[in-house]
Amino acid sequence: MNTTLTRPDLTAADRCDRCGAAAQVRAILPSGGELLFCGHHARKHQERLKELEADLQQGQQPT
């Protein structure tokens, strides 16, 4: 039996690990850790996260 763990959607309570703004992107690292980023910091660190082969998940945009 295969069990897949899913992470909850980002909410307004989730904050950027760099500046404390609302998180818009979850970066899941190959080691299993995760980082949350606002849009600005996600763009700023995008290249390095790709080098680390992080899985980048966009949060849902408010309606």
Helix (H) or strand (E) holding 15: none
- Residues 9-59: tens digit of each pLDDT: 999 999 999 999 999 999 999 999 999 999 999 999 999 999 999 999 998
The tens digit of pLDDT for each residue in 45-61 reads 999 999 999 999 998 75
Question: Which residue has tokens 């949350």?
Answer: 36
Distance of alpha carbon 4 from the chain centroid: 18
Helix and strand counts by DSSP (H, E) for the chain:
1, 3
Residue 16 DSSP SS3: coil
pTM reported for the whole predicted model = 0.83
